[in-house]
Amino acid sequence: MAEESERAVRAAVDGEMRLLDPEVRASPARVLELLDPEFTEIGASGRRWDVDSIVTVTSDGSVSAESPVEVSEMSGVALAPGVVHLTYFADGQGRRAWRSSLWRLTETGWRMYFHQGTLAG
């Protein structure tokens, strides 16, 4: 069971890191492979996002490859079979945010179901 949980956490971390990759974010098809159809996000700005709004903002060219997000203190736990919770700090574009994501295993693989960012001092 522990090995299965470790594999699940690794899969979620891999998906999270792919979503933070500017090249992936610039491709709507690649982003859609990683977001659950029921995805929602509460951004660090307080704005609520869904799949369509995330794809629109990430594919509009505003995501710069020159300012990648730096991740630290990544931690994950399998909450139940097929459900993983990740937390980490993300530093990018001059701000630091505490991030939290829920990933779930679907018929097409691991997908982010929920994400929240909270600005950190």
Question: Any idea where the domains of the chain sit in the sequence?
Answer: 2-59+79-119
* Sign of the CA dihedral with 4 first, then 39, 30, and 106 last: positive
Task: Enumerate residue ranges in the chain where pLDDT < 70.
Answer: 1, 60-67
| CATH 3.10.450.50 matches 2-59+79-119 | yes
pLDDT computed for residue 62 by the predictor = 58
Buried b (16+ CB within 10 A) or exposed e, 21-59: eeebbbeeebbeebbbeebbbebbeeeebebeebbeebb
In terms of Cα–Cα distance, which of 26, 14, 20, 13 is closest to 69?
20
pLDDT computed for residue 26 by the predictor = 87
pLDDT computed for residue 65 by the predictor = 52
Tokens of 74: 């990544």
pLDDT computed for residue 45 by the predictor = 87
Measured distance CA(7)–CA(101) in Å, rounded: 17
pLDDT computed for residue 57 by the predictor = 82
pLDDT computed for residue 63 by the predictor = 53
